[in-house]
A and B are shown apart, each in its own frame.
Chain A
């Protein structure tokens, strides 16, 4: 049977992708951030998962305001790289895993999570930057990916508690797949940042560090943070952190933090990276 062996939480700042694509990761500005990604890349290469589920939000790339799915799962064979307004990132197309993806979609819906299903969609920096952060610049991504989109662009996003429960349902779905697959799940976005208005640039290191600690110490308490509290304390776009709860919910009770990296600034954002291994899995 398939099982979720680890979770990765990772900010998906577009400028991080641009720095890699333009080869500027060694500059004084970027070097401290990228240096901190090296241990995560070694860890992931060693883990060599069979599939990754990447929980992220689309940023007006695949979906506009015409149709706004709260939770969506991709079941395609392949996902092209989106043009977000300045040409697609020069990274490999993302290969899907339709077998497991369809199984998860069916299982989630029957488990009372009313997913939208996507047979065709491009993927944007929300998905590709975490892959770049953790895999570097390979000619092809090292594993197939199941994209799982959460709306955080049109208020309100789903609550943290609901996202956590979705994660738990994803774990049940994966566990009932009869192929022997080792799955890693990514929760992306955050950490503190505000991209808009007179208050742009807000960073709350204290909030972020407490959030990183809470992912292992008391994840259920974190799920009670309201949207207003995320926005007030850590910036309007920090509400993306609800997506970390999907990842955490999918891991179950016993986890071990094996790595973290936190750096300010990455453009307007506090970039966080957290690796949790599932110690409760069979």
Chain B
């Protein structure tokens, strides 16, 4: 058995590696389709019908329909792809970053203005205060 990669010890981080590449291909290719304006219109007009055209698994489909941004990463989403759904919704990268980290838009914006999230205490999962992620 191959041992888990060392980056698995980074908290709250979903590295888009071979494991996630295999799991997330269809989900991310759906996101890629949103680069075309006519596809964005079709998706917004009937999200369920549009998703039928892609081989998403039930967890991926739920995460997209519920706009569960963090959940999408956990089922193979790549942030550079899933963000296209957010653009479709008129959201910004910073809006989504705040939602993924579980704080309000204002709290997140203030954190960034104050210099961002510190690396101190955030390098290893063992340093985490409550739950483990990633």
State which of A94-102, A180-188, A189-197, A253-261 sits at the interface with chain B: A189-197
Compute how far the CA of A60 lies from the CA of B33 in the bound complex, rounded to whole angstroms.
10
A84 in the interface (beta carbon within 8 A): yes
| B117–A203 CB distance below 8 A | yes
Compute how far the CA of A158 lies from the CA of B73 in the bound complex, rounded to whole angstroms.
23
Find B119's partner among A155, A202, A265 (CB 8 Å cutoff). Answer: A202
Mark each residue of chain B from 20 to 55: 1 if its CB lies under 8 Å from any CB of chain A, else 0.
Answer: 010001001101101111001000000000000000
Compute how far the CA of A86 lies from the CA of B36 in the bound complex, rounded to whole angstroms.
9
Mark each residue of chain A from 50 to 65: 1 if its CB lies under 8 Å from any CB of chain B, else 0.
Answer: 0000000001110011
A138 in the interface (beta carbon within 8 A): no
| B29–A199 CB distance below 8 A | no
A218 in the interface (beta carbon within 8 A): no
State which of A110-118, A167-175, A225-233 sits at the interface with chain B: A225-233
Find A207's partner among B83, B115, B119 (CB 8 Å cutoff). Answer: B119
| A198–B133 CB distance below 8 A | yes
B5 (CB) vs chain A CBs: closest residue: A228
B101 in the interface (beta carbon within 8 A): yes
Find A265's partner among B79, B92, B112, B133 (CB 8 Å cutoff). Answer: B112
A120 in the interface (beta carbon within 8 A): no
List B79-134 residues whose CB lies under 8 Å from chain A. 79-81, 83-84, 87-88, 92-94, 97-98, 100-102, 108, 111-113, 115-119, 122-124, 133-134
B17 in the interface (beta carbon within 8 A): yes
A270 in the interface (beta carbon within 8 A): yes
| A196–B117 CB distance below 8 A | no
The dominant DSSP class at the A interface is loop
Compute how far the CA of A159 lies from the CA of B7 in the bound complex, rounded to whole angstroms.
15
B63 in the interface (beta carbon within 8 A): no
A153 in the interface (beta carbon within 8 A): yes
Compute how far the CA of A196 lies from the CA of B117 in the bound complex, rounded to whole angstroms.
13
Residue in A153, A200, A203, A264 whose Cβ sees the most chain B Cβ within 10 Å: A200
Compute how far the CA of A233 lies from the CA of B9 in the bound complex, rounded to whole angstroms.
12
Compute how far the CA of A204 lies from the CA of B94 in the bound complex, rounded to whole angstroms.
18
Compute how far the CA of A84 lies from the CA of B33 in the bound complex, rounded to whole angstroms.
10
B6 / chain A contacts, CB cutoff of 8 Å: 228
A83 in the interface (beta carbon within 8 A): yes
| A84–B87 CB distance below 8 A | yes
| A85–B108 CB distance below 8 A | no
B75 in the interface (beta carbon within 8 A): no
Provide 23 A-B residue pairs closer than 8 Å at the C-beta atoms, listed in order of the A residue.
A60-B35, A64-B28, A64-B32, A65-B21, A84-B84, A153-B78, A154-B17, A154-B78, A156-B17, A198-B12, A198-B133, A199-B117, A199-B122, A201-B108, A204-B119, A232-B9, A232-B10, A233-B119, A233-B123, A264-B115, A267-B94, A268-B93, A268-B116
Binding site for A on B (CB under 8 A): 5-7, 9-18, 21, 25, 28-29, 31-32, 34-37, 40, 70, 73, 78-81, 83-84, 87-88, 92-94, 97-98, 100-102, 108, 111-113, 115-119, 122-124, 133-134
